[in-house]
């Protein structure tokens, strides 16, 4: 994808591909069960988290209990970075979507890794800059794009980092929470995409069958 086609959500692919091995075995993983909260919005950020197995939702909550999904991270991702580095309270919460193994990395552990692998610091700065751009694009998409194009971008951005991966793991609720459309709307649009031959839908997954057509629709209109 070109620079104008940054992901609609933060996938963590950069760190999964380039730096995951630095965190494997760093400490004993902590186990989180499905739907268990990892940290809350407003918590002090004493750790950054390496996702060894499972899936994690990053979300913001409102006073009436509603949630808005910001990102869904998968195996090999590093999350909780921004508040860890700026030492401000966390601006979002994190929740395990499945049974999950997480390695909690404190400041001393991170400094040790960076001293041994200084390129990591540059990679992380680039990743944080990209994250800012991603969320800016997300706001723009939510403001100006119709629901069908937002959903198409969600699908494209979740397989674009790995062209051999034509099936993405997600639920209709996760898509709904991320793109700002009702679950009923998501289901109708996915059915329409399936009728066009762009995707097949399965249990908690979507198989992309015509990546070019879906990408053209998502980004070219």
pLDDT attached to residue 1: 33
pLDDT given at position 8: 32
* Predicted pLDDT of residue 186: 92
Largest CA distance in the chain: 53
How much is the pTM? 0.62
- Indicate the pLDDT class of residue 190, thresholds 50, 70 and 90: very high
The beta-strand segments (E) located in the chain are 30-32, 37-39, 48-53, 55-61, 67-74, 78-79, 93-96, 100-105, 167-169, 199-202, 205-208
**What mean pLDDT comes out for the span 36-50?**
92
Cα 141 to Cα 137: distance, rounded to the nearest angstrom: 6
Mean pLDDT of 101-125: 87
Length of the chain, in residues: 221
Average pLDDT, the chain: 80
Confidence label for 146 from pLDDT (cuts 50, 70 and 90): confident
- Residue 17: per-residue pLDDT: 45
> How would DSSP label each residue in 169-196?
E--HHHHHHHHT--HHHHHHHHHHHHHT
Residue range 50-73: mean pLDDT, rounded: 83
């Amino acid at each position: 994808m070109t620079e104008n086609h940054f992901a609609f959500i933060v996938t963590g692919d950069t760190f999964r591909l380039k730096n995951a091995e630095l965190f494997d075995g760093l400490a004993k993983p902590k186990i989180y069960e499905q739907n268990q909260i990892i940290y809350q919005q407003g918590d002090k950020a004493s750790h950054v988290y390496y996702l060894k197995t499972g899936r994690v939702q990053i979300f913001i909550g409102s006073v009436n209990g509603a949630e808005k999904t910001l990102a869904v991270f998968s195996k090999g991702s590093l999350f909780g970075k921004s508040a860890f580095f700026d030492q401000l309270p966390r601006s979002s919460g994190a929740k395990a979507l499945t049974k999950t193994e997480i390695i909690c990395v404190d400041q001393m552990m991170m400094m040790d890794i960076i001293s041994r692998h200084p390129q990591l610091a540059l990679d992380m700065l680039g990743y944080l800059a990209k994250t800012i751009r991603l969320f800016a694009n997300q706001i723009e998409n939510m403001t100006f794009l119709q629901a069908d194009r937002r959903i198409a971008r969600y699908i494209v951005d979740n397989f674009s980092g790995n062209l051999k991966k034509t099936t993405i793991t997600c639920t209709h609720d996760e898509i709904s929470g991320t793109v700002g459309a009702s679950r009923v709307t998501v289901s109708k649009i996915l059915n329409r995409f399936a009728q066009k031959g762009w995707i097949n839908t399965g249990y908690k997954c979507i198989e992309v069958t015509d990546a070019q057509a879906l990408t053209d629709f998502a980004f070219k209109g």
